[in-house]
Amino acid sequence: MKRTVSSSLTLDSSGTADVVLAIAVAAGYDADEELTITRDGARITPTEILDAHGTRLHRFTAPAGTVQVDYRATVTGGVEQATASALDTMTYLRPSRYCESDTLLPIAVAEAGGRQGHELVRHVSSWVGTQLAYVSGSSRPIDGAVATVLARAGVCRDFAHLVVAMLRSLDVPARVAAVYAPGLKPMDFHAVAEALVDGKWWVVDATALAPRPSLVRIATGRDAADTAFMTTIGDPVDLVSMEVSAVADELPRDDEDLHVALV
């Protein structure tokens, strides 16, 4: 499958700030790509930092003024999934900033109904999808899974956080992945959940807004704190505009009964 993805960010820096981007496709893909960062036509060269899960972070210093970031990649084929380590299992069973699995334990146990394995993962994803309404702008950046349950609405990251928190409550290691999602409407960066079953990570998307086999991984982590597309350090930086695109030469079929790995 051939997938073409891109993102364009216009930033307004009030002073000097360090900016860390997570917009490039993860390490391991066969990708023809280009990342361009400029201010007033002058090129800024970022430093690439690779994390343990293949997330490629690009860090640069933004001077005062308008900074333009443009990324594009053509991805052919997939990437081999790394084996889950003992540390992964431990890390992704613990509560985290946006996935309060300890607080949600009573709800998770009540909904599990004795299910296990893929059946449990599918049930949790379906339950979250039916409990929440997808409403753009309905949640705050500081909202976690508990706030999402109470609001009964959210965007993709809120759906993913709730799936992950519920699964961790039920002793299933789970994590969040930021992705490019061909077929997604409305188009944007997308967030999905991954669950560890039978030694392999399987992707679930409670929003059902894009076919899972077409997704392209960007970042992987405990929750949105690890997978945000931009982090700034120093003087304030405003995101003036953002445009994201993701297309596939042919969108694949998807349904909730398919076991799909994010490759």
Which residue ranges make up each domain of the chain?
Answer: 2-78+231-245, 86-226
- Tell me the average pLDDT across 126-145: 94
pLDDT at 257: 85
Q: Do domains 2-78+231-245 and 86-226 have the same CATH topology?
A: no
**How far is it, in rounded angstroms, from Cα 172 to Cα 119?**
12
pLDDT at 263: 79
Among candidate residues 228, 240, 121, the one with its CA nearest the CA of residue 169 = 121
User: Taking the chain, what is the end-to-end CA distance rounded to the nearest angstrom?
Assistant: 11
pLDDT at 42: 93
**Average pLDDT along the chain:** 95
**How far is it, in rounded angstroms, from Cα 205 to Cα 212?**
7
Percentage of the chain beyond pLDDT 90 is: 88
CATH of domain 2-78+231-245: 2.60.40.2250
Cβ neighbours of residue 53 closer than 8 Å, sequence gap 6 or more: 26, 82, 219, 220, 221
Q: 105-112 and 117-131 are packed helices; what angle lies between their axes, rounded to 10 degrees?
A: 110
Query: If you search the block for the tokens 């893929």, which residue do you land on?
Result: 118
pLDDT at 135 over 80: yes
CATH of domain 86-226: 3.10.620.30
- Tell me the average pLDDT across 50-71: 95
pLDDT at 41 over 90: no
pLDDT per residue over 7-26, tens digit each? 999 999 999 999 999 999 99
**How far is it, in rounded angstroms, from Cα 74 to Cα 105?**
42
Provide φ and ψ at 117, rounded to 5°. 60, -140
pLDDT at 72 over 90: yes
- pLDDT band per the 50, 70, 90 thresholds, residue 53: confident
- The β-bridge relationship of strands 200-204 and 153-154 is unpaired
pLDDT at 82 over 80: no
Are 168 and 112 spatial neighbours (Cβ–Cβ below 8 Å)? no
pLDDT at 256 over 90: no
pLDDT at 208 over 80: yes
